[in-house]
Amino acid sequence: MAYRDSTAEKTTITRDLDLLSKPAGGNIYESIVVFSKRANQINTELKEELSSKLEEFASSTDNLEEIFENREQIEVSRFYERLPKPGAMAVQEFEEKKVYWKAKEK
């Protein structure tokens, strides 16, 4: 998924709990479970993507000069730090109805 193009908020904002709970049948707790599971999925995907990009810079012999001079690695890390948090992305996807989940039968 293109998390680079995410328009999720990068800061904390106030949300209407009634609107967030509507897709889950009015149960805010079920909505929160859906957010958290989706946020974990997004976080795992971002970690794997970042790790694969940073592997390109890995060397078998690290010395102090190489660590401080590797500007490309620093820029890649900074890019991922500036992305919205996985929780914010998950809430945005939930609000836009891009998340599918199946509720347990009672």
Per-residue pLDDT at 105: 67
Residue 40 to residue 9: CA distance in whole angstroms: 17
pTM for this entry: 0.78
Confidence at 57, pLDDT banded by 50, 70, 90 = confident
The b/e string for 9-31 (b: 16+ C-beta within 10 A; e otherwise) is eeeeeeeeeeebbebbeeeeebb
pLDDT per position as a tens digit, 74-99: 888 888 888 898 988 998 888 888 88
Task: Give the number of C-alpha atoms closer than 13 A to the C-alpha of residue 14, restricted to the C-beta side.
Answer: 0
How do the domains of the chain map onto residue ranges? 18-95
Task: For 12-56, write each residue's pLDDT tens digit.
Answer: 888 888 888 888 888 899 889 998 999 999 999 999 988 888 887
